[in-house]
């Protein structure tokens, strides 16, 4: 199968630039599909001359870099102008492959959907598409001062919805939004929940985690993990912390707020804006800014925290909430998008983004040790139902469904191995 991820590479470090949950989704599902005997080739845009044309991500999984536009300095909003070049690069590569080399295309995000639409049509195979985020959903809940998604993206998304053989939604709410906002055929929308690496994100010793992250053993630690941009609302958390310290100045002595991530999207216009806000609010002494880290270190940050704050204005799912819960750390999250599904009963949901409301929610959970311990047990149990193996198995069902659909009068079949004979070695 061909996976297409135009605007962000599965090799990129999540948490900065355009790399985030989509990258994790592509990497984790591709690895498992490869282990199941599906040959996966991921097409993404080359962003450095140093990148090899082809990189093996895992057994059975290749990343193919396509030249489309300058390697550096090209913003995501400029990429629509490079879709023709990207598609041409994909077609040139496939010209050297035997006819019928691909059985299916799975595109991620609307830019990839545009390329996937052409590729699937040219190769006469089904197109499965996952939106990950949608312009009309984001524009309905913009942060103050943030720019709306352009009309061209809305049109592009509509086109992909019409072209796709099947659409994959993360949650029932996203499926409803596809139908209501984009007139998708309900019969062509499949719900497949994203997952979490349950072998990597596990509970652990909090004292050891705090030593590993250089956090005080007796601190009250609030963690934010994500890209630094208005959509993710880290500023809401900082304003809430300022209100909390106004109410309870004595809390300053032990409170630590760790903001882990790098600037992205419109946040790139003021890459130090959040640090400046912390100074203006008078809380710079309690806020630590941490650049994106690899997953081994990220696990330690989750374990070290008393709670994870996810104040986003819009989330199709919210993988960081699930990762935190898998580590046994409860979540305080905005009651938006897919976050209620990701959080379940293992955290607290906050309606709206008023700093006073967030200050109250954070303080209540910090001060309720028994409640946090109860939520920790629930968090581990909740996350256990969302492994990437389950996600990948459900995707296989979607692919089979798509390949049984008649394409121009021909019924395609996706030839899968005997799953009873599959190896059981852990995913690297």
Q: Would you state the structure tokens that stand for residue 345, as one six-digit string?
A: 């009963």
- Residue 48 scores a pLDDT above 60: yes
Q: How confident is residue 267, by pLDDT bands cut at 50, 70 and 90?
A: low
The reply to whether 313 sits in an annotated binding site is no
Q: What is the mean pLDDT of the chain?
A: 90
124: alpha, beta or left, given left = phi > 0 and alpha = psi -120 to 50? left
The reply to whether 153 sits in an annotated binding site is yes
DSSP string, 133-169: S-HHHHHTTPPTTPPPPPHHHHHHHHHHHHH-SEEEE
Please name the residues in contact with 246: beta carbons below 8 A apart, sequence gap of 6 or more.
Answer: none
- Residue 428 scores a pLDDT above 60: no
- Residue 415 scores a pLDDT above 80: no
Three-state DSSP class for residue 22: helix
Q: How confident is residue 421, by pLDDT bands cut at 50, 70 and 90?
A: very low
180-230, pLDDT tens digit by residue?
999 999 999 999 999 999 999 999 999 999 999 999 999 999 999 998 989
The reply to whether 415 sits in an annotated binding site is no
**Section 14-29 average pLDDT:** 81
- The CATH 3.40.50.2000 portion of the chain extends over 2-195+390-411, 206-381
The reply to whether 182 sits in an annotated binding site is no
* Whole-number pLDDT of residue 191: 97
The reply to whether 373 sits in an annotated binding site is no
- Residue 166 scores a pLDDT above 70: yes
The reply to whether 370 sits in an annotated binding site is no
- Residue 70 scores a pLDDT above 50: yes
Vertex 401 angle, CA 400 and 404, to 5°: 85
**Section 338-366 average pLDDT:** 95
The reply to whether 130 sits in an annotated binding site is no
Homologous superfamily of domain range 206-381: Glycogen Phosphorylase B; (3.40.50.2000)
Q: How confident is residue 111, by pLDDT bands cut at 50, 70 and 90?
A: very high
The reply to whether 303 sits in an annotated binding site is yes
The reply to whether 305 sits in an annotated binding site is yes
The reply to whether 109 sits in an annotated binding site is yes
| Least confident stretch, 5-9, 36-40, 116-120, 153-157 | 5-9
Q: How confident is residue 144, by pLDDT bands cut at 50, 70 and 90?
A: confident
The reply to whether 232 sits in an annotated binding site is yes
Give dist(CA 36, CA 59) in Å, integer: 10
| Angle between helix 83-94 and helix 110-123 axes, rounded to 10 deg | 40
386-410, pLDDT tens digit by residue?
999 999 999 999 999 999 874 444 4
The domain made up of 2-195+390-411 has a fold known as Rossmann fold (3.40.50)
Three-state DSSP class for residue 11: coil
* Whole-number pLDDT of residue 210: 97
């Amino acid at each position: 199968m061909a996976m297409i991820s135009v605007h962000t590479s599965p090799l990129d470090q999540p948490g900065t630039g355009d790399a985030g949950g989509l990258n994790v989704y592509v990497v984790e599902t591709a690895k498992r599909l490869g282990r199941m005997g599906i040959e996966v080739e991921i097409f993404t845009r080359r962003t450095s001359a140093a990148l090899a044309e082809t990189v093996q991500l895992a057994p059975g999984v290749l990343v193919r870099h396509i030249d489309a536009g300058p390697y550096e300095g090209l913003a995501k909003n400029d990429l629509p102008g490079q879709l023709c070049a990207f598609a041409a690069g994909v077609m040139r590569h496939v010209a050297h492959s035997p006819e019928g080399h691909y059985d299916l295309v799975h595109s991620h995000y609307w830019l990839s959907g545009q390329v996937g639409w052409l590729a699937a049509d040219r190769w006469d195979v089904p197109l499965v598409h996952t939106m990950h985020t949608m312009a009309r959903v984001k524009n309905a809940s913009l942060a103050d001062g943030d720019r709306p998604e352009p009309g061209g993206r809305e049109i592009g998304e509509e086109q992909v919805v019409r072209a796709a053989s099947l659409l994959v939604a993360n949650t029932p709410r996203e499926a409803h939004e596809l139908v209501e906002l984009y007139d998708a055929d309900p019969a062509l929308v499949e719900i497949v929940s994203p997952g979490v690496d349950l072998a990597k994100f596990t509970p652990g010793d909090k004292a050891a985690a705090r030593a590993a992250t250089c956090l005080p053993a007796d601190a009250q630690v609030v963690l934010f993990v994500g890209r630094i941009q208005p959509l993710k609302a880290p500023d809401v958390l900082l304003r809430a912390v300022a209100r909390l310290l106004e109410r309870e100045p004595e809390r300053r002595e032990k409170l630590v707020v760790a903001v882990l991530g790098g600037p992205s999207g419109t946040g790139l216009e003021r890459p130090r804006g959040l640090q400046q806000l912390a100074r203006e609010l008078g809380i710079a002494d309690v806020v630590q800014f941490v650049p994106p880290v690899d997953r081994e270190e990220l696990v330690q940050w989750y374990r070290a925290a008393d709670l994870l704050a996810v104040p986003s204005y819009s989330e199709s799912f919210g993988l960081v909430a699930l990762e935190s819960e898998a580590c046994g750390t409860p979540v305080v999250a905005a009651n938006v998008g897919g976050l209620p599904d990701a959080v379940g009963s293992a955290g607290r949901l906050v309606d709206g983004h008023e700093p006073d409301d967030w200050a109250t929610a954070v303080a209540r959970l910090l001060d309720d040790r028994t409640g946090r311990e109860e939520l920790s047990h629930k968090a581990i149990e909740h996350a256990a139902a969302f492994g990437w193996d389950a996600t990948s198995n459900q995707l296989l069902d979607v692919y089979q469904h798509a390949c049984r659909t008649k394409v121009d009068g021909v019924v395609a079949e996706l030839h899968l191995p005997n799953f009873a004979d599959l190896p059981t070695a852990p995913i690297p």
